[in-house]
Amino acid sequence: MLSKNKKGTTLDLEQHEQLEYAQRRIRQKKNLYRHFVFFLIGSVFLVFLNKILKYGETYDWYLWVILVWSFFLLVHLVQVFIMDPFMGQQWERRQREQLLQKQQERIRALQKEVEASHPLPEPTKKKDL
């Protein structure tokens, strides 16, 4: 995986991209698990606050808060496990290539436009005397 040269070890471009992708996926999953733990702790705290400490006792508001938080946790879960693999590294590479191709086409079109509107003067030929 690592190629050695005189100055030390280096990664080629594809291996570097794979490593960055793996690190990004690890961060995403770690943040999702952290979100889930906070959700559990927060939900228990909200129930404790409403039922045991009797804060807002006349209305079970904690259910609505937990429901909204569950929705956000579900969105986070879908983003990490469904959307990211679907729009993962291969998708990003295809999009990048398409954007580069469009930019190159625009540059070519602008060059043609500039050449058409402002042609370079013809070099003058010197006659031999």
Q: Write out pLDDT tens, residues 17-28.
A: 888 888 988 999
Output the tens digit of pLDDT for each of the chain's 129 residues: 555 554 545 668 888 888 888 898 899 999 999 999 999 999 999 999 988 888 777 788 899 999 999 999 999 999 999 888 777 777 888 888 899 999 999 999 999 988 888 877 777 776 665
Instruction: Tell me if 106 is assigned to some domain.
Output: no
Instruction: Tell me if 52 is assigned to some domain.
Output: yes
Instruction: Tell me if 29 is assigned to some domain.
Output: yes
pLDDT (0 to 100) of residue 9: 58
Q: Provide the domain limits for residue 33.
A: 11-99
Instruction: Tell me if 2 is assigned to some domain.
Output: no
Question: Could you give the number of structural domains in the chain?
Answer: 1
pTM of this structure: 0.60
Instruction: Tell me if 118 is assigned to some domain.
Output: no
pLDDT (0 to 100) of residue 26: 93
Instruction: Tell me if 95 is assigned to some domain.
Output: yes
Distance CA 111, CA 119 (A): 11
Per DSSP, which regions of 7-104 are E strands? Answer: 8-10
Half-sphere exposure of 74 (CA within 13 A, CB side): 6
DSSP letter assigned to residue 3: E
Is residue 50 within 8 Å of residue 60, measured between CB atoms?
yes
Instruction: Tell me if 31 is assigned to some domain.
Output: yes
pLDDT (0 to 100) of residue 17: 81
Question: How many other C-beta atoms are found inside a 10 Å radius of the C-beta of residue 82?
Answer: 10
What is the token pair recorded at 22? 């793996």
Instruction: Tell me if 53 is assigned to some domain.
Output: yes
Distance CA 47, CA 67 (A): 12
